[in-house]
Chains A and B, each alone.
Chain A
């Protein structure tokens, strides 16, 4: 539930010198986070807004779970898709609870069901309902507003979430916290998320796959790791900073680079880390502690050793995932 298919989709605005989006064909799988990444004016937001028909393509078709979205009434389609925008776009004259209740009300849910849903969602985004239900958006911080924005988008229980640079106007620390929040929520909810960003770190952090766009066209659509190690061209290479070794290490898992425990292994004084940690974490731990080797733990039990050599080998081979 939640596959998005773009089939030769184009959009040329009236009077535009070139199409804002030019012949995009690709598929976003159900339960996947896809980040659309590119410089401003590359058509990423335009592509996103065609999914909920805020823009209508001038060529091609978009299918949700195999159904052409032109065949669905625009308001009905939008009620089934979560939509989060920059600056949250909360309704200033409504309380937090009323903001979250907008889509359930449009969908005609019963009152008790809506009230229960509001509390459930506020708990989910870590805003205690007792404290936040009756506040107005002006009484919230930017980060809290965006949490309400996310809760509001989730309210109708959509299979698909569209997020248009939702954290663009938020300070770096809060932004990281909100990104963690998205990953945590995604672990629980398994939505299909299409996320527009111009922030490479954000894209690498969140995405299962990244759709790189330039001048309205898709340049490359692949996993973060493949984009870093096999960029399609100079543009992708420069955009992602693929020459940044430390960035690459951030995408490699310790478990794939370590060596098995030697038979004579005795629990020494090695610092420990999880097999799920990244090699970037491992490198920083080695540099910080000065230890020659790290003991890798899986569910608390030692399963391997990792040294600086292993990290170097993985970085050079570039296939440790």
Chain B
């Protein structure tokens, strides 16, 4: 705790690095996952091979995966970001395909039967209905990304992990504690923000709880 208070500048720099890595990787991950999930929803037979291989990818320890990527992308943040994108794919793609498949077929038939075009059905019916499920996936992906970004410090990517690894190397408990607290607080705050967004995206459920 004392380190957090005595070195706020350094902690803030590391926090911003951490956030930047997480943000970039989530952005790329979503940009990849949405078309992939749409493809899988369209071509059902792709579901098993795609989700299967993404699942296998998820079981590789993050440390090992990043080491595999270093020869390709160098010993820097890029390798870590690529690993984060790969890890979060399974969460995002699965949530989105499950969400799309979970929409009551009667609702889609009604939308079609009432004369909505394909794009109207997508924006007025499918997107709002799938959004809460998708955001839940983004939330979990964000937490996973924050965790992996911590390991990134080992690979020259900076971030709050630096405090932890430096602390371990130099036997500085105050640094370890500061790093741990900072990462935990970050995860909690991001989780809370995305949860609020998720809540906001489903008016019908919000109302039911009142």
Residues of A within 8 A of B (CB): 52, 54, 74-80, 83, 85-93, 102-103, 106, 136-139, 152, 162
User: What chain B residues lie within 8 Å of A87 (beta carbons)?
Assistant: 104, 106
User: What chain B residues lie within 8 Å of A139 (beta carbons)?
Assistant: 207-208
Q: Looking at the complex, which of B32-40, B113-121, B178-186 is the stretch in contact with chain A?
A: B113-121
Distance to closest chain B CB from A211 (angstroms): 20
Q: With A93-B202, A139-B207 in contact, do A86 and B106 touch (Cβ < 8 Å)?
A: yes
Q: With A86-B106, A87-B106, A91-B107 in contact, do A78 and B204 touch (Cβ < 8 Å)?
A: no
| Docked complex Cα distance between A90 and B111 (Å) | 9
User: What chain B residues lie within 8 Å of A75 (beta carbons)?
Assistant: 115-117
| Docked complex Cα distance between A75 and B111 (Å) | 10
User: What chain B residues lie within 8 Å of A106 (beta carbons)?
Assistant: 114-116, 120
Q: Are B128 and A136 in contact (CB under 8 A)?
A: no
User: What chain B residues lie within 8 Å of A52 (beta carbons)?
Assistant: 113
Q: With A86-B106, A90-B107, A93-B129 in contact, do A77 and B204 touch (Cβ < 8 Å)?
A: no
User: What chain B residues lie within 8 Å of A92 (beta carbons)?
Assistant: 104, 107, 129, 204
| Docked complex Cα distance between A103 and B128 (Å) | 18
Q: Is B195 an interface residue (CB 8 A)?
A: no
User: What chain A residues lie within 8 Å of B113 (beta carbons)?
Assistant: 52, 54, 78, 83, 85, 89, 162
Scan residues 163-210 of chain B and give those whose CB is less than 8 A from a CB of chain A. Answer: 202-204, 207-208
Q: With A75-B117, A77-B115 in contact, do A93 and B110 touch (Cβ < 8 Å)?
A: no
Q: With A85-B106, A85-B109 in contact, do A103 and B204 touch (Cβ < 8 Å)?
A: no
- In the complex formed, the residue of B with least CB distance to A103 is B114
Distance to closest chain A CB from B126 (angstroms): 10
What 4 additional pairs, Cβ within 8 angstroms, besides A79-B114, A102-B114, A137-B204? A78-B115, A89-B109, A106-B116, A139-B208
